[in-house]
Amino acid sequence: MNQLVAILITLFFLGLTVSFTVTHKLKDRYAFLWLVTAIAGVLSAACIPLLNRLALWMGIAYMPTFVFLVTIIFILALLVRQTMSLSNQSEKMKRLTQEFAVMEKKLLELQQSVEGRESL
């Protein structure tokens, strides 16, 4: 019964991810990560005995501890990826702001030049 509930929840998550991707609420580069996550969730929910064996093979006696460990590692990896993306966007924003300031200065100089010629 618990396995069925887990499968239904992960299938709902998979459907939600596909829906967000189709309606363009989730960009493709992020959608791939969430689709893979949802598929991995469905597979892991369907193969709970395999997770038990994998946990025992790694020396973890209690399978939920193994799932918790994998989840924490996944969240940390996701956090690193999002931080890298944020750093990249911050750098682009800085460059764009600098370019805007240069263009604004050139425009002001051009306007002053035109006004100076008109006054002659």
- Give whole-number Cα distances, 71 to 44, 60, 78, in Å: 12, 15, 10
Q: Mean per-residue pLDDT for 79-92?
A: 94
Please give the span between the terminal C-alpha atoms of the chain, in angstroms, as a whole number. Answer: 89
pLDDT digits (tens, 9 = 90+) for 13-25: 889 989 998 998 9
The full DSSP string for the chain is -HHHHHHHHHHHHHHHHHHHHHTTSS-HHHHHHHHHHHHHHHHHHHTHHHHHHHHHHTT-SSHHHHHHHHHHHHHHHHHHHHHHHHHHHHHHHHHHHHHHHHHHHHHHHHHHHHHHHHT-
pLDDT the model gives residue 42: 86
Sketch the domain layout of the chain as residue ranges: 1-59, 62-119
Residue 120 has pLDDT above 70, yes or no: no
pLDDT at 28 over 80: yes
pLDDT at 89 over 80: yes
